[in-house]
Amino acid sequence: MASSDQSTSPRLSLEKETGAKTSSGAVSDVSPVDTEPVTVEEAALSKPEVKQDEKVEEWLTGIKLWAVISPLILVFFLVLLDTTIVSTAIPSITNHFNSLTDIGWYSASYQLASAVLQPLAGKVYVHFSNKWSFISFFALFEFGSLLCGVATTSKMLIVGRAVAGMGTAGLQNGAMTIISASVPLHKRPALLGICQGFAQLGLVFGPLIGGALTQYTSWRWCFFINLPAGGLAGAILLFTRIPDAYVKPPARDILRDFHNKFDLIGFVLFAPFMVMLLLALQWGGNIYPWNSATEIGLFCGFAVNAIVWLVWNWWKKDNALIPVSMVRRTTVWSGSLVVGFLMSSLYIFAYYLPIYFQSADGASPTMSGVYMLPNILAALVLAVLSGKLVGVIGYYTPFSIASAIFMAIGYGLCGLLSPNSSTGDWIGFQIVAGIGRGMGMQMPLVAVQNNLAPAMIPLAISLCMFTGMLFGALFLSASATIFTNSLRILIPKYAPTANLEAIVVAGATGFRRVITAEELPGVLLAYAKSVDRVFYLCAALAALCLPFSFGLGWTNIKAKAQQKKATTGKPAEKVESEV
């Protein structure tokens, strides 16, 4: 294994890590535990072209470590806050610009830019400094927020959202890359859990903060809020030493061959088919019927472009936008699928649980966010606890397996919620689902870091993040279809005299104004059962995490550290179990 996975000795230059070849021409990992070979192409992808002196750099500890981790947590929080805070401001924005027809673009432009740039962002962290890459992406995110806050037209706001999405593309994977370069492998699960756990608070506080800012100040402050908080995080990062996992060549050397190292042709082929797919999913059933010429054209264009890109990516091998040998590794594709199914179930649950509270339970948008705290807090506690336990036990795969089981049970229990469910029911069901999600969020990311050379880690993390966003878009679209079709079937069944179209158009909080008191119980039951069917989809997605969790591997990360100690005779990083 490469030296960023060691828990003992300083990290050496990438040239020394990947320079030894086997007799067959392949490059073997340094660790004798990792039996999966590293190809020559993989080594060449990350090997500096200039001669490097040996780099000796200790892992970060104490104040130096938390000077790096604290702003990363804040940035994580701001990113998820930004995805939810806008939802409460959209009515005011559309009124201000008289732009109801643009409403879908306020989120679509953000998601499109973030998803499409994920693989390219991974390349940036491979070749350039972790510190300046992260700060550059964060500056782009902040600039996008500023554009949104000062927008004078709806189109300017859409452009600002796209710019912010471009910045977001390099923030979550960048934070995880920095953590992998800052601490040994057995400490990373706890830190990843802390970052991801606290970030999820943004999902809860987003609607609360957005509603308060829109009501008492202006919708513009939903974007301006990122500036002072982001300025604080940026200032800390600017004056903090952020390590790289290996020596990287000077930027001017990378720029000389930029188009090849970043596979710009591959990106030009990749971006259009992703845009067409995501637009088809965004518009299908909302703006255009699924069988319309626009939707059919988008899906056909996606299929053709995807085939062309796949052929190009295969031909480029490990110089491709997504390296072929990396994707072939069981740990990588299994980890990406686990992240995809886990994140899609999270997105759906976070979207539809407030709909249950606001429709079937009659809660306000603010209180529906408060009612989600049991799920978020359970996930936060288990993310930190499971991360610490991985550092003690040494195995991460059992936690991913347990995560899938708990999530499937928790989401399945949420599928039993009705208008008459007690407070204890929805609190308990949320806690079970939160325990499962907290145990599993960071485990696929730990797995790919445990089985790849340092230079491949940013690419693998970007692939995981991209899969999460892609699957989220796919299954959110599927959940909307399930929910709408269920309403159209159940409302006539339980409230036959109610105006079906008026209820659907009125939405989750407005339908009470278009029905009578006699129709209300039947409509509430139809809403609750429709949400329940979406929760069954969440349970199915969580269950799909289970078989792929077995592909994460069974390497004991503590045993690797001890074996390295025996091999090198160097102290095992003083076994600093406290982070």
- Specify the pLDDT at position 511: 84
Superfamily of domain 59-250+257-262: MFS general substrate transporter like domains (1.20.1250.20)
- Specify the pLDDT at position 26: 38
> Which of 299, 237, 305, 231 is CA-nearest to residue 268?
305
What are the pLDDT digits (tens) for 130-184? Answer: 999 999 999 999 999 999 999 999 899 999 999 999 999 999 889 999 998 898 8
- Specify the pLDDT at position 560: 62
Q: Is 59-250+257-262's fold the same as 325-573's?
A: yes
Q: What is the CA radius of gyration of the chain?
A: 24
Task: For residues 517 and 492, give the distance between their C-alpha atoms in angstroms, rounded to a whole number.
Answer: 16
Average pLDDT, whole number, for the chain?
A: 82
**102-116, 450-464, 515-529: the lowest-pLDDT one:** 102-116
How many Cβ atoms sit within 10 Å of the Cβ of residue 375? 29
Which residues are within 8 A (CB) of 132 and not within 5 positions of it... i.e. 6 or more apart?
none
Task: For residues 561 and 184, give the distance between their C-alpha atoms in angstroms, rounded to a whole number.
Answer: 9
- CB 531, CB 352: distance < 8 Å: yes
Structure-model confidence comparison of residues 497 and 92, the more confident one: 497
What are the pLDDT digits (tens) for 502-542? Answer: 888 777 767 888 888 899 999 999 999 999 999 999 999 99
What are the pLDDT digits (tens) for 478-487? Answer: 888 898 889 9
- Written as one letter, the residue type at 448 is V
| pLDDT bucket at 563, cuts 50 / 70 / 90 | low
- What's the CA angle centered on 266, arms 264 and 270, to 5 degrees? 115
- Written as one letter, the residue type at 444 is P
- Ranges of each domain in the chain: 59-250+257-262, 267-320, 325-573
Which residues are within 8 A (CB) of 95 and not within 5 positions of it... i.e. 6 or more apart?
none
- CB 319, CB 263: distance < 8 Å: yes
**62-66, 84-88, 118-122: the lowest-pLDDT one:** 84-88
Q: Look up the CATH number of domain 325-573.
A: 1.20.1250.20
> Which of 443, 323, 5 is CA-nearest to residue 186?
5
Residues in the chain: 579
What are the pLDDT digits (tens) for 24-36? Answer: 333 333 333 344 4
- Specify the pLDDT at position 193: 84
How many Cβ atoms sit within 10 Å of the Cβ of residue 510? 12
